[in-house]
A and B are shown apart, each in its own frame.
Chain A
């Protein structure tokens, strides 16, 4: 079956530190890959996505590259801010049965301190 594995949190960083959150996946086909973010008290928001191998998704200073050879989609940011504190979910979707249901990882909580 399809699955997503994320590094466990919480991850605690100082402001302006470099961030990496690891994500690997298992899929029966060629999935699209996503990072969603959930800020405290808010719903899930799409952060970035990549639809094919070697694509790089980017948004708000975050980046992730679709690596088919390592089945990975690691999230990176060069300099985190306190406002980046949230839970980050890696997810995949496959075009099956006409739908694009998402399979999520367990989430990684990020805490950024001054």
Chain B
């Protein structure tokens, strides 16, 4: 069945360093890939997304890259700050609009 694998499950970085989270999807029909950030006790919130006709997208300190051939996509956060500490979820979806979520990455930014 459809599956999204996400790595690593936990990630600790020093403030100011970069963080990279990787996801692999199984359904080749997937065409939309959102990333959500969930702070402790809060709702998941969309931070960036990418569609299958684009290879890379940036928004200030965050960027997402997509490799359709390899069926993987990555989230890059540069110049990390303590407020970036949260759980990050990737997801993939095709025309059904049903999201398949990864298992999440707990990012800790150490001051």
The answer to whether A and B come from one shared complex is no
Interface residues of A (CB under 8 A from B): none
